[in-house]
Amino acid sequence: MDKLYIVIPAYNEEENIEIVVREWHDVVIKINERSRILLIDDGSKDNTFTKLKELQKELPQLETVTKPNSGHGATVIYGYQYALVNGADYVFQTDSDGQTLSSDFWQFWENRKKYDFQIGSRKSRQDGIFRILVAKILRLILFLQFGSWIIDANTPFRLMSAQSLTDLLPKIPNDHNLANVLLTVLYTKTKKKIRYVPITFRPRQGGINSINFRKIARIGIKAVKDFYQLKGEIK
């Protein structure tokens, strides 16, 4: 009986958090009683964690933790490490803004034995032309740095076997803001069994996106430097 951990980082998501948690909690309930959904509050300044604690009283397979703000990358790494320590056989990651659908998950789960890594492909994104442009620029940067044309490296909809994640996770710095991007690169470069699956990607369902143009630019510049430093080790 495979144990699944669904890892979801959250920062200032009080408007979305209850709907998202209930939707994904239903998934782990259907899988088995061993599986869990892990919500990680990344130092939110609103009532996100308060709502999570209330939900935890009602939802038996929900686990919640809070920590100082460290960004999305460091938070998903924290979640992956937590899941592995707690005996996960598979780790799935999505975000707390309601842009993904749990109904898309089942085609991943049904094929879990065939692949080390399955990742969503956002072919018809509905989150704005600016983010689509950023994704295309990232694809080009990864090709120039690592020599791999990666369809969608940063999709927050990914299922990983614990064995493969245990192998690759130590290669990523704990504070790297684009941890999921590097993880996708590692899965690609190490010839793991990978599958891209088309998924629905809706507009944000509520609240305000904490990532603006200035922050994206700053993250991008740092990422290029980090990629250059890490590409020798990754190769």
CA distance 77 to 80: 5
Q: What are φ and ψ of residue 81, in 5° steps?
A: -65, -40
199-211 tens-digit pLDDT: 988 776 555 655 5
Phi-psi region of 8 (alpha: psi -120 to 50; beta: other; left: phi over 0): beta
Tokens 């891209």, residue?
A: 196
User: Strands of 117-121's sheet, edge to edge?
Assistant: 62-67, 36-42, 4-10, 90-94, 157-161, 117-121, 194-198
pLDDT band at 29 (very low <50, low <70, confident <90, very high): very high
Lowest mean pLDDT among 13-22, 74-83, 225-234: 225-234
Q: Find out whether 119 and 158 touch, Cβ atoms under 8 Å.
A: yes
**Percentage with pLDDT > 70 across the chain:** 81
pLDDT: which is higher, 189 or 83 = 83
Average pLDDT over residues 167-182: 88
Quote the mean pLDDT of the chain: 87
Q: Provide the residue count of the chain.
A: 235
Q: Letter for the amino acid at 191? A: K
85-139 tens-digit pLDDT: 999 999 999 999 888 999 999 999 999 999 999 999 877 655 556 566 666 777 7
CB-based contacts of 135: which residues, under 8 Å, 6+ apart? 122, 125, 152, 154
CA distance 170 to 229: 16
The sign of the CA dihedral 112, 115, 120, 121 is: negative
Tokens 């996106």, residue?
A: 209
CATH architecture of the domain with residue range 4-234: Alpha-Beta Complex (3.90)
Encoding tokens for residue 109? Answer: 């789960």
209-224 tens-digit pLDDT: 555 556 655 656 666 6
pLDDT confidence of residue 173: 84
- Whether the pLDDT of residue 32 is over 60: the answer is yes
151-170 b/e (C-beta count within 10 Å ≥ 16 → b) = bbbbbbbbbbbbebbeebbe
- Whether the pLDDT of residue 6 is over 70: the answer is yes
- CA 163 to chain CA centroid, nearest Å: 17
Query: Domain segments of the chain: what residues?
Result: 4-234
